Amino acid sequence: MSGRAPFLILFCSALLALAGCGRDADGPLNVAIIGTPESVMADGLRLSEGAQTVRGAVASGLVALDAQGEIKPALADRWIVTDDGRSYIFRLREGTWPGGAELSGESARDALRRAIRQLRGTSLGLDLAPVDEIRAMAGRVVEIRLSTAMPDFLRLLAQPELALSHGGFPSGPMNLQAIGEGAEPGAAAAQLTLRPPEMRGLPQEEGWQEHVRPVRLRALDAQGALDAFAEGEVDVVLGGSVGSWPLADPGPLSRGTLRIDPAVGLFGLQVRRAGGFLARTENREALAMAIDRAALLAPFNIGGWTPTNRIVPAAIAGEGAAERWAGIELERLRGEARNRVAIWRTTLGQGEGPRLTVALADEPGLAMLFNELAGQLATVGIALDGVGADQPADLELIDRVARYAEPRWFLNQFNCALRRGMCSSDADAEVRQALSTADPQARMDAIARAEAMLTADNIYIPLAAPLRWSMVRGTVEGYAANPWAYHPLPELAVIPR
């Protein structure tokens, strides 16, 4: 049995237990995560956002993210970074692993190596490519050496998938247990409680239980979660996205507050199949030219949700990064798109315009998006049909929050090794080149070339940043909107003094 198996058995059994969550002002904080029990089940290394939230509560890495999305100590209580940014030296906190074994540099090194090894073949595995060596030093010290500097490496290291375990016991700040069976179908529930301070790397404290509360967690669909919030059955709803946005009308929910994360990431269309009309680069570009992104987002009426046609956001790409086709009028772009569609129709389309399919989930917000998108593409002669998210399609709607604030995360999402759709081996080679050079300017230039190649190939059509929202009752502390849309449960469990 693998090292994760005992934890997985415990977690799966807890989330599959059905329960009702009665509201008690002096009892647990009731939290609903939008999703199915399966989607929030930590059953491997490719975790949903809901599963990341739970994994981060019951298992810890060397560092973690706080409510604001900033780095905080976890198994390591302090660290230093060398001047060249290529060596991170961590001092582990006092204490033991949950199973009683010594928390030593050697055991942490072995656990981290195991975690990184298990992530091979995933996008996080690509993100971890700069990790060159992990060494155990004297006593409780671990050093991670990188092949090249990575400014946001600590945020990558804080990802829940890089949580460490020893002997099959998770090392996080909270314990998780099932809370019995209830009559409400589909309302999987579990209760998480904070471990004593000394088991969380904090000083012993008498009466610490008076300042914490359990978190009772439910997995519900969007409508069920919002209904439970409106009825006072839950205090927090996490995991809202574009698809469920039309359900989140804050008007009647006067007892709570709608919170929108300033999320960073990808929201757009990736080419799955480069055949037919999409076989040619200029036709894929025509598709991108035809979209009025501002009009696409307008029906959602969300302030601050701005359109983009960049793969890497300008704020992350660096000085001088500009939007594609800046200063060119939409009608001029659409005119060129119509010309290209007409050429394809007369030469390869046998007199008929292109008909494309897009894979997306069956959710009200995505239906709004699809209807507007299909109408826009029709103006240049492209017909668009929607299919289920798991069905074969020409295009796929990508909605993914970034893990760290570096261009390489965005580029790695289209790496050919992931087999997610159309890709560029030349762009992948530039990213590898960036990792092999010590010169900062040469790294930046290679990354810029990689993005330019992906943009020129038009394998991904950016629309905007991801949208993430929550409902949080006004009396709840420990929640903060942040760019990573990550809301740790341990901080919600602390009662303000």
Per-residue pLDDT tens digits for 85-133: 999 999 999 888 888 888 999 999 999 999 999 999 999 999 999 999 9
Nearest alpha carbon to residue 402 among 123, 165, 147: 123
Give the pLDDT confidence score for residue 15 in this predicted structure: 41
Domain ranges of the chain: 1-58+172-263+467-497, 60-169, 265-464
Per-residue pLDDT tens digits for 329-380: 999 999 999 999 999 999 988 889 999 999 999 999 999 999 999 999 999 9
Query: Which of 36-45, 61-70, 191-200 is predicted least confidently?
Result: 36-45
Give the pLDDT confidence score for residue 188 in this predicted structure: 53
Mean of pLDDT values over 436-465:
95
Top pLDDT among 252 and 364 is at 364
Q: Name the fold adopted by 1-58+172-263+467-497.
A: D-Maltodextrin-Binding Protein; domain 2 (3.40.190)
Other CB atoms within a 10 A radius of the CB of residue 46 amount to 12
Q: Name the fold adopted by 60-169.
A: Dipeptide-binding Protein; domain 1 (3.90.76)
Per-residue pLDDT tens digits for 169-211: 778 999 998 775 443 444 458 899 999 888 887 888 888 888 8
At 23, is the pLDDT very low, low, confident or very high (cuts 50, 70, 90)? very low
Domain 265-464, CATH: 3.10.105.10
pTM: 0.91
